[in-house]
Amino acid sequence: MTDAAAAGTFRLGERTVNRMGYGAMQLAGPGVFGPPKDAETARAVLREAVARGVNHIDTSDFYGPHVTNQLIAEALHPYPRDLVIVTKVGARRGDDGSWNPAFAPADVTSAVHDNLRNLRLDAIDVVNLRVMGTVHAPSEGSIEEPFTTLAELQRQGLIRQLGLSNVTSAQIREARTIADVVCVQNQYNLAHRADDALVDELDAAGVSYVPFFPLGGFAPLQSAELSAVAAELGATPMQTALAWLLDRAPNILLIPGTSSLEHLAENLAAADLELPEGALERLDAIGARRAAKDRAGALPA
Strand-pair category, 159-165 with 183-185: parallel
CA distance 246 to 197: 16
CA distance 222 to 224: 7
Element (H, E) at 159: strand 159-165
- Mutual orientation of helices 144-155 and 169-176 as an angle, nearest 10°? 40
Q: Name the catalytic one among 63, 79, 188, 209.
A: 63
Closest CA to 84 of 67, 95, 72, 97: 72
DSSP 211: -
Q: Is 63 a catalytic residue?
A: yes
SS3 assignment, position 22 = strand
Closest CA to 68 of 104, 108, 115: 115
DSSP 140: -
CA distance 54 to 40: 19
Catalytic machinery residues: 63
